[in-house]
Chains A and B, each alone.
Chain A
Amino acid sequence: MAGRKKDDTITADTFLEGVWRENPVFVMLLGMCPVLAVTNSVMNAIAMGVATTFVLIGSSTLVSLLRHVIPKQVRIATYIVIIATFVTIVDYIIQAISLDLYNALGAFIQLIVVNCIILGRAEAYASKNRPLKAVVSGLGMGAGFTLALLCLGSVRELLGSGTLLGFSVFGSQFEPWVVMILPPGGFFVLGGWLLLFNWLKERKEKTEVKEALHAR
């Protein structure tokens, strides 16, 4: 158990990894369904992000606490039941807070159960780490997911209805691009963000190659 001590330390990286370098949406392309479906406004995006983060943290904690108790053979089934329990809680909480929001998000709150990010985290991370570390990492992943939802939500709401969080941005002359809040807009905007990231990455690689050549 000598090597365990080192792995247990929680650094800023435990949190930041999920936000940027291993961003679940932009880098790992996980959990695409809610990303595309509920990002037609910023408010929906935030609500979905917070709900998913809550489930992620809750299930990570419980899985991590029970990691020595759960038998290997039935672990996936156990994880799914744990996740479904937290999703049911979130479902009722959102219903209690705001019925409008609940109707706007529709079935996608309950569909958090089948969000691959959460099951993936439970299997790959929470079942192997201490509760505290699993929570920090879950928080990072949740933040990364929320960030991605916001990236999509803000662009789509801005172009699709000319508003941001319900406030008008472009004034009354602006003709909204309705397609942006309709399903195709989701695909286009996410595709656009991925293009942007690919472009940035390629540019960075090119400058690195150039610098390396200059150094010689």
Chain B
Amino acid sequence: MHADSLTYIFLNAAIINNFVLALFLGICPFLGVSAKLKTAVSMGLAVMLVMLISSICAYAINSVLVSYDLEFLRLISYIAVIASAVQLVEMSMKKFSPALFRALGIFLPLITTNCAILGLALFQTTKEYDFVQSVSYSLGAGTGFILALVLMAGLREKLELAEVPSISQGAALSLMLAGILSLAFMGFAGLGA
């Protein structure tokens, strides 16, 4: 596979360099909303949507900033764009699909401080992806995020019924689980170019 091909970019973001398990982006929602499978899926989809929108916006903004030599404003404008993208998604979702809006509830506004989104925007800038590649990258990253969240939620739902020592309950156990998941994903590492 060529390193610039769209399939490679997608798989790279989704599996080989999984945003959560290999790059440590978006750990807070990963640990916070992975207790139930259903919320995990909704959260994952919302994040993917915001990723797609902010990736497109970041691409546009970056080309404007570069043409005016204003790269030092990149971070500030990215975070402003992400915050407004989240707001926009929230508003349009409220109008067109109130059921989904209610299902996501508090998770929507929290996406602003999800570092996976800002990370995606920054990485695509450093890697100098063009428009189509950026879209593919953001879709891959979103898929990877959903994958990690769903896997984790499935494991934690089973763990609810397991008997564990009292000191390992809660975050400690979740982190150990995440470590094992991450270990599994290390198996893909050799595929990277």
B172 and A202 form a contact (CB under 8 A): no
Take A29-B31, A80-B79, A85-B76 as given contacts and tell me if A107 and B126 are in contact as well, using a CB distance cutoff of 8 Å: yes
**Interchain nearest-CB distance for B80 vs A (Å):** 7
Q: Among B79, B80, B83, B185, which residue has the most Cβ atoms of chain A within 10 A?
A: B79
For B172, give its contact among A85, A113, A195 (CB under 8 Å): A195
A183 and B123 form a contact (CB under 8 A): no
B182 and A198 form a contact (CB under 8 A): no
B79 and A84 form a contact (CB under 8 A): yes
**Is A114 part of the contact surface with B, judged by Cβ < 8 Å?**
yes
Spot the interface stretch: A3-11, A32-40, A140-148.
Answer: A32-40
B173 and A107 form a contact (CB under 8 A): no
**Is A14 part of the contact surface with B, judged by Cβ < 8 Å?**
no
**SS class of chain A's interface: helix, strand, loop or mixed?**
helix
Q: A108 CA to B123 CA in the complex, in Å?
A: 11
- Return chain B residues, CB-CB under 8 Å to A87: 75
B179 and A187 form a contact (CB under 8 A): yes
**Proximity bits, A175-196, B CB within 8 Å = 1, else 0:** 0000100111111101100110
A183 and B22 form a contact (CB under 8 A): yes
Which residue of the partner chain B has the closest CB to A36?
A: B24
Spot the interface stretch: B35-43, B48-56, B113-121, B130-138.
Answer: B113-121
Q: A177 CA to B130 CA in the complex, in Å?
A: 39
Q: Among B22, B24, B183, which residue has the most Cβ atoms of chain A within 10 A?
A: B24
**Interchain nearest-CB distance for B21 vs A (Å):** 7
A111 and B122 form a contact (CB under 8 A): yes
Spot the interface stretch: B57-65, B100-108, B163-171.
Answer: B163-171
**Is B27 part of the contact surface with A, judged by Cβ < 8 Å?**
yes
Take A84-B76, A114-B114 as given contacts and tell me if A187 and B175 are in contact as well, using a CB distance cutoff of 8 Å: yes
- Return chain B residues, CB-CB under 8 Å to A179: 183
Interface size classification for chain A: 35 or more
For B122, give its contact among A30, A84, A107, A116 (CB under 8 Å): A107
**Is B149 part of the contact surface with A, judged by Cβ < 8 Å?**
no
**Is B176 part of the contact surface with A, judged by Cβ < 8 Å?**
yes
**Interchain nearest-CB distance for A65 vs B (Å):** 19
A186 and B24 form a contact (CB under 8 A): yes
**Interchain nearest-CB distance for B130 vs A (Å):** 20
Within 6-60 of A, Cβ neighbours of B (below 8 Å) are at: 29-30, 32-34, 36-37
Q: A106 CA to B113 CA in the complex, in Å?
A: 19
**Interchain nearest-CB distance for B123 vs A (Å):** 6
**Is A96 part of the contact surface with B, judged by Cβ < 8 Å?**
no
B24 and A183 form a contact (CB under 8 A): yes
**Is B25 part of the contact surface with A, judged by Cβ < 8 Å?**
yes
Take A32-B31, A80-B79 as given contacts and tell me if A194 and B172 are in contact as well, using a CB distance cutoff of 8 Å: yes
- Return chain B residues, CB-CB under 8 Å to A91: 75
**Interchain nearest-CB distance for A197 vs B (Å):** 9
Q: Which 5 A-B pairs have the closest CB atoms?
A: A187-B179, A191-B175, A37-B24, A194-B172, A198-B167
Seen from chain A, the residues whose Cβ lies within 8 Å of a Cβ on chain B are: 29-30, 32-34, 36-37, 77, 80-81, 84-85, 87-88, 91-92, 107, 110-111, 113-116, 119, 179, 182-188, 190-191, 194-195, 198-199, 202
Report 22 cross-chain contacts, Cβ distance below 8 Å, ordered by A residue.
A29-B31, A32-B28, A33-B26, A33-B27, A81-B76, A92-B72, A111-B119, A114-B79, A119-B113, A182-B186, A183-B182, A184-B179, A184-B186, A187-B175, A187-B176, A187-B182, A190-B175, A191-B176, A191-B179, A194-B171, A195-B168, A198-B167
